[in-house]
Structure 1
Amino acid sequence: MGRPESTETRHERFRTATSSWLTRALEAIGAGAYAVDEQGRIVAVNPRALHLLGRSAQEMIGQDAHDLLHRGPQGQRLPAAQCGMREAFHSGDPAHGHTDYFAHADGSLLAISWMITPYDIGDDASGTLVVFHPLESTHLADTHPEEASETLTDLERLALLAETTTQLTSTLDVDEALRRLLGLVLPRLADWAVIDLITERDEVWRTAVVQADGGTLIHHTELQGPMPPVPESSPMPLSRALRGVASTLAGPETYHVAPDSGIAVEQRHLFDATGIRSAAIAPIRSTRDVLGALTLGRAAQPDDFTVADLTLLEDIGRRAGLALDNARLYQRQRAIAETMQNHLLPQMPRVPGLQMTVRYLPAPDASQVGGDWYDAFALSDGATALAIGDVVGHDLEAAAGMAQLRNMLRAYAWSQQKPPSRIVDRLDEAIMPITDVAMATLIFARLTLAEDGRWELSWTNAGHPPPLLITHDGLTQFLTDGHGILLGTGTGAKRPDATITLPPDSTLLLYTDGLIEAPGRTLDEGLSELRQHAAALAHRSLTSFTDQLLRRVRPPGLDDVALLALRTPPGPGGSNP
């Protein structure tokens, strides 16, 4: 809606948002940590790193990490080719170093040990996480390899937990969160992973049984499916985890005893089928409830799990639980909003001689359903009204505002046989005192059958993207006349009307801005792409035209889209002028 923001503004907004949520994620790391983008620029830094380096976030965000921090033992700047950390960054693989130096803000050197690993920095962008510990200079020469190894193990653990937080909290799709969880633990911690989830009906469902074969994850769907109920007092490891009691180690021998429940029978079958010889099982729980259990198993990996491994698994389970709980709450709220929106959107009237089809597509990745809408209805003088609009916002309030606006428009249009501009002027006057709508765009049109058998369209446009007219031969025209300011500004400016005779067998397309606007693409580019594909599809049936156009043009998952397409009948004898 309205004037699209510039690419520079959009990128700055993205950088600010990325830095904010990444910084929150890095706060969970007990060591110094910062994340860099693919160019090596710092995009987020945690408070511990700021304290160790004596710097502010403003001094670090956006700076090249190598130029700002990396130094030699005498404080000299390091050429990139001589910097081990920079070399590891370019390799794209996890790496660590025992003794290197960072520049402190006061000019002194900070001796550190470090680890870096690839890291998701959001919006499908990849980056690198750097985690570092300070080393006391007087003890550097005495550092034993065993001590350094322990420190690096701690770093790897912290990095994994930080990566788990950002990976899982950056999606609100349950299936995607589970896919990411599996990718985090396999094959890093185990060669098998099993996820059992408790459904909203309090049933247990074995959602994933996955094996890591090198870098490939193999899903064993034959081992997935519904599970028996959770026993209330069973001491068996999975039953305890699903009740949220504790994390536990287990092996084949654990379940090769007389089973105390159906779940125990399924667990015996799991160990027999997978060859898992050592397993660690932990609850997946949120702050409100137990959501399931995560089982990591080792069959081919040589080491068995120990009690020390359970703390890490519990931490991963807690992070997974919070992410899954958020995703479930989002999907539940989204389902309510979509149901509300679908019930509010009307059925299209039957108009003899005209074909008409509509589509409403909510944005898959939007936080809420928005205020995009369409309408078509008969008027008291026999004309047909067409409308398409967009209420500011992406939430249930926007959907409710859309319903208020649509119903008021219907009432004014039915009771007042006036040009579209006068109807919309009256609607604009009533928005602020009567509705909860702050601002909205709208096209309102009257469609009438002229004496020569052709259809005439009269319309006014309140700040909305222009309708597109496509002839049967593929000629296209954006209907830019009749354009005025959007609703809710309070200026009281009068609106213009425009009129056009629709050619026989032509297609009129009304749409919302979700069809043409996308980050990195100008509005003109979106309109040009829409025109190009609409012309190519002009000969298709109206249903095929609409579906194919949405498939080709709509930016994936960015905004809601409402669309109304109308086709006039062919000329006499089926010919077109």
Structure 2
Amino acid sequence: MVAQRGGRAGDGEQGAALQLWLGSWLAGLKAGAYAVDAGGAIVALNSEAEALLARSAEDLLGRDAHDFLHRDGNGMTIPRSECSMMEAFIARRTRQEDLGYFERGDGTLLAMSWLATPLRISADEVGALVVFHEHDSAGSSLQGPALSVELLSELERLALLAETTTQLTSTLDVDEALDRLVRLVVPLLADWAVVDLIRDNDEVWRTVVAHEEGGRLVRRKDLEGAMPPVPQASPQPLSRALRGAGSTLATPETYQGPPDSGIAVEQRRLFDSTHMHSAVIAPIRGLREVLGALTLGRSDRPESFTGADIPLLEDIARRAGLALDNARLYQRQRKVAETMQRHLLPQMPRVPGLEMATRYLPAPHASQVGGDWYDAFYLPDQALAVVIGDVVGHDLDAAADMAQLRNILRAYAWSHQEPPSVVVSHVDEAVPHISEVEMATMIFGRLETDAMGQWTLRWTNAGHPPPLLVTHDGQSRYLTDGHGLLLGTHISMPREDATVVLPPLSTLVLYTDGLIESPGRSLDEGLERLRRNAASLAHRPLEGFTDLLMERARPEDNDDDVALLVVRVPSEDGPPI
């Protein structure tokens, strides 16, 4: 039986993992075990620990293990700076001692032998697992039932595999996953880590060659890069792994004979350059295909890999394969989604004297397209329609709804020579009957110039963030007039139009809420950040203005798409439409 503290390690997968380790691996042993979180508080224990300590789980859970239990031979509390168990806990190292003392519930001392090892409590929290049993004064405690080298190795293996799963499955970026993989195994298991990945068209790329140097990981870029094709009949370890065969041990002698392929030549070069004397090579398999191979090598430490090391490496490679498979699928879907989104967005018309720039960025943590869009097109009277909009949703349906709404708006704007407010009202009335759009925001405006070259914007706003106008000398203000209800409310209310004269060389910024909203700050803060950055960039050429504005104003914790349409009017002597 394993008791756990609610709200911490007992929650979700971490609680299940603790129960597995303490229950399945230790319940059959006559040994006490408890887990502590990063602060040293007890978060789980087994029934043997309750019996040995003469304390109930309710009495132990949530207590600081050091203050509550650790004592010297006289029953006095040990200063933390002098406690060897605390030293191991703080250093995140495994340590065991033959004799120590815990205070029992009845006030007596339990003379015990103990082992402490780091234990991942959650994705970002490392605590410790303490295993202990009553000290055997007649002989070595290692002859007792609990603290064997095999147990230590098994605990460390489980902890490493759990951390591998947590680290690799918490990212959908291939490069980040590989970096985490290398840091998990070097220098813990090996001096070198090599990752070969199979790309499209069965091309092999030596993606990572890394080792520890002065306490940090160093990449050997000269050994990375394109690899020869995988031979179909070679018995050599890497060739076999890249074909999905079993894991194999390798030494420099493995590749000293006449090479049977280009890969064998590269492997000889790898061993010569890294001075690895022993390596183990395992395939990295996805759900449907072989993704590559993972090689761990030793050059500094004298111990060679043995067949007993292969199961652990295969477990790590298996988890790496699942993570890389997910990351590749995500990136493939994301690329397709971005391509679809960009094809749905229109090309901007060429307008004499008028500069326009557009940008679209998908949500950084989403694999699907969204409903943000921009548009600009000529109207029958040669005015220029400008649009920015956002359909509710972040999926393929939202993108399809966006395309429907854009087409409906274009049709009404072209066929109805009426003010923007009237056009948008017609669109709002029609959308529920001829499209799947449920709710959306939009700014629809008309840009036109008179014979003197003076530009005027007339617009209406259906629940969208207000346009931003920046003059050439850096003055900036939001155009808050003309604001009305978003589309899809089914509320019949008159919409308003607003008009503003655009000064020469001024810049009009139309954007979606992904540029100003984030979980970490208020909407007012986002608007102010956008305004100040736009003002500071007023003298920049339009393309540079747009790129830098997107870079500086977009929140770091943004989780939404961003569409941006920027228009700059010409100087006073610029040509009219």
Q: TM-score range by the shorter chain?
A: 0.7 to 0.9
2:117 maps to: 115
What does 1:115-514 correspond to in 2, within 5 Å? 115-116=117-118, 121=123, 127-130=124-127, 132=129, 135=132, 144-145=141-142, 147-450=147-450, 453-514=453-514
Q: Which residue identity does 2:118 align to in structure 1?
A: I
Residue 142 to residue 311, structure 1, CA distance change in 2 (3 Å): farther
Provide Cα deviations, 1:374-429, integer angstroms capped at 9, x if missing partner.
11111122211111112222223222222122111111111112222222222223
Q: What secondary structure, in the 3-state scheme, does the structure 2 residue paired with 1:245 have?
A: coil
1:7 maps to: none
Shift of 1:526: 1.0
1:565 maps to: 566
Contact 2:37 2:128 in 1 (8 A): no
**Distance (whole Å) between structure 2 residues aligned to residue 53 and residue 428 of structure 1:** 68
Shift of 1:252: 1.1
Contact 1:282 1:294 in 2 (8 A): yes
**Distance (whole Å) between structure 2 residues aligned to residue 378 and residue 120 of structure 1:** 57
Shift of 1:251: 0.7
Contact 1:28 1:162 in 2 (8 A): no
**Distance (whole Å) between structure 1 residues aligned to residue 36 and residue 340 of structure 2:** 41
**Distance (whole Å) between structure 1 residues aligned to residue 491 and residue 103 of structure 2:** 58
Q: Which moved more, 1:141-150 or 1:458-467?
A: 141-150
Shift of 1:249: 1.1
What does 1:59-138 correspond to in 2, within 5 Å? 71-72=68-69, 81=80, 87=86, 91=90, 93-95=92-94, 113-116=115-118, 121=123, 127-130=124-127, 132=129, 135=132
Residue 413 to residue 565, structure 1, CA distance change in 2 (3 Å): same
**Distance (whole Å) between structure 2 residues aligned to residue 102 and residue 485 of structure 1:** 68
TM-score, structure 1 normalization = 0.82
Q: What secondary structure, in the 3-state scheme, does the structure 2 residue paired with 1:201 have?
A: helix
Shift of 1:572: 5.4
Contact 1:71 1:77 in 2 (8 A): no
Q: Which residue identity does 1:361 align to in structure 2?
A: L
Provide Cα deviations, 1:312-334, integer angstroms capped at 9, x if missing partner.
10011001000110011111111
1:4 maps to: none
Shift of 1:113: 4.9
Q: What secondary structure, in the 3-state scheme, does the structure 1 residue paired with 2:501 have?
A: strand
Q: Which runs of 5+ in 2 are unaligned?
A: 1-6, 26-32, 51-56
Shift of 1:277: 0.3
**Distance (whole Å) between structure 1 residues aligned to residue 434 and residue 103 of structure 2:** 61
Alignment: residue pair count? 536
Q: How much is the aligned-residue C-alpha RMSD, in angstroms?
A: 3.9
Q: Which residue identity does 1:128 align to in structure 2?
A: E
**Distance (whole Å) between structure 1 residues aligned to residue 83 and residue 215 of structure 2:** 26
Provide Cα deviations, 1:100-122, integer angstroms capped at 9, x if missing partner.
98999xxxx9998542267883x
Contact 1:69 1:102 in 2 (8 A): no
**Distance (whole Å) between structure 1 residues aligned to residue 476 and residue 40 of structure 2:** 46
Residue 486 to residue 234, structure 1, CA distance change in 2 (3 Å): same
Q: What secondary structure, in the 3-state scheme, does the structure 2 residue paired with 1:208 have?
A: strand
Q: What secondary structure, in the 3-state scheme, does the structure 1 residue paired with 2:359 have?
A: strand
**Distance (whole Å) between structure 2 residues aligned to residue 425 and residue 136 of structure 1:** 78
Shift of 1:232: 2.8
2:515 maps to: 515
1:124 maps to: none
1:12 maps to: none
2:3 maps to: none
Q: Which runs of 5+ in 1 are unaligned?
A: 1-14, 55-59, 122-126
Q: Which residue identity does 2:273 align to in structure 1?
A: A
Provide Cα deviations, 1:199-244, integer angstroms capped at 9, x if missing partner.
1212222212222223222222222222233233332211221122
**Distance (whole Å) between structure 2 residues aligned to residue 259 and residue 101 of structure 1:** 62
- What fraction of aligned residue pairs are identical, expressed as a percent? 57
**Distance (whole Å) between structure 2 residues aligned to residue 52 and residue 414 of structure 1:** 80
TM-score, structure 2 normalization = 0.82
Greater C-alpha radius of gyration: 2
Provide Cα deviations, 1:70-90, integer angstroms capped at 9, x if missing partner.
84169x999995896995698
Residue 195 to residue 374, structure 1, CA distance change in 2 (3 Å): same
**Distance (whole Å) between structure 1 residues aligned to residue 490 and residue 265 of structure 2:** 70
